[in-house]
Structure 1
């Protein structure tokens, strides 16, 4: 089973990398770009065939390693 986990900073958490990207895009001539937020994407091939069990495994991975749940949110998608 294939899955994707997207980790992003929570709303209200400062994102200096997003601001740097926003500034660089403006310098490159991409006008009208604002509110840039950066994140991480993880793609998985999981041996588990039950979607609910796979989702639980991924949630445990996020809580224990992939996301800092104090400042980050995560989204799990089965693809």
Structure 2
């Protein structure tokens, strides 16, 4: 089910009843989803702890040389010129 922010404001008790009955309600503002009202215990429940800022990422291999801290510091020193 989907409801606009205005509909949510005007029909909050009906939307909450729908959620209590097992339905997930997506609330939109200007056509963009901004919130979900989900039944308690649903699989869409938000974890009570952060799962990471971005999740797993993989970076492409750019073929650049491995630099030590000393290499980086030396490069930075010579750039200050």
| TM-score, scaled to structure 2 | 0.20
Larger Rg: 2
- Structure with bigger strand share is 1
Bigger relative contact order, structure 1 or 2 (CA pairs below 8 A, ≥6 apart)? 1
